[in-house]
Structure 1
């Protein structure tokens, strides 16, 4: 499948999953908008597959409906292969933070994350009681959690409560690659 068709398929998956959730909960678009902080127009466009939502919008929806972010994507295959640089990818508005989903279960999801050289990414607040585990695969990174700064080099790992303020900073001239796992405690 070419990249354009694959992207459209992903957008449609998000819309179907969101509409299914909303209908199962007997919610209107207004109700969902109030719950997530995302406009009714944007939610309607997502449900119809007419827009490709940003990572920030997807986080707001995920947090608002108390579902892991990857629950918005279906995968019914008995085995799934996630090759680096292929398939589903999301970026923030600045395009300096890119994530690729790798694995999901009911309460755990894992992704590969890429932070561009000399840049910082500060994610939206995660679900309450979420644990984030980040391992540096290539490069080095500075992670700030609740004002405390940690420097991680290749293969170093940190675990922290992800519902508190945190950020990732790459002070190098090379892209940093991380594996990030989120453990949800709903």
Structure 2
């Protein structure tokens, strides 16, 4: 990520922490992310992975787009945020306070696997494969899905996505949150 993107995410983290009046220690306990790493993210010194941002969002009970939605497409190459090798994410619709939904487009590079820790209770993911073939992981098992396929599941358990092919796989991820979520 660029310094501009790192700083934008860091500012959002600092704002969330300030709103809750949490110290870095308290934020670390709630997110499972070390105090040192949270400090680096806040200062724009670290490029957090998607998985790390999910942990932070879950701990603060915020939608993922709270951190990604503030990044304009002009700041990103082709509108995609590449926080780690093998995956690119773009916010299609940031979190909506009324519907409690946000929508992302994710592209998995060939042979990439992305695991996600459990999200907060009440979070439901809806997957729509746009291009390519991929698999999703749920209940300790991998399931194949391809272009046009859809799946929905409660995301409060470990889950993941992988692309076992030699071509990129793109899917839309519609995330619905419970009513307790606040921005």
Cα distance, 1:57 vs. partner?
1.9
Shift of 1:159: 0.8
Shift of 1:181: 1.0
Q: CA deviation at 1:71?
A: 0.9
Unaligned runs of 5+ in 2: none
- Please tell me whether residue 125 in structure 1 is matched to residue 104 in structure 2: no
Cα offset, 1:47, TM superposition: 1.6
Please state whether the residue corresponding to 2:171 is helix, strand or coil.
strand
1:91 shift after superposition: 3.5
Q: Does residue 47 in structure 1 map to residue 47 in structure 2?
A: no
Cα displacement (A) at 1:124: 2.1
Matched, 1:108 2:95: no
SS at match of 1:49: coil
Q: How many residues align?
A: 175
The match for 1:167 among 148, 160, 170 is 160
Unaligned 5+ residue runs, structure 1? none
Aligned to 2:67: 72
Give the TM-score of the pair, scaled to structure 1: 0.82
- Supply the distance in 2 between the matched residues of 1:91 and 1:14 (Cα, whole angstroms): 12
1:5-84 maps to which residues of 2 (within 5 A)? 7-73=2-68, 75=70
CA RMSD of aligned residues (A): 2.4
> 2:172 corresponds to which residue?
179
1:147 Cα deviation (Å)? 3.4
State yes or no: 1:96 paired with 2:91.
no
Q: List per-residue Cα deviations over 1:140-168 (Å, max 9, x = no partner).
A: 12223213543222111111111123222
Q: Helix, strand or coil: the match of 2:151?
A: strand
Query: Cα distance, 1:182 vs. partner?
Result: 0.8
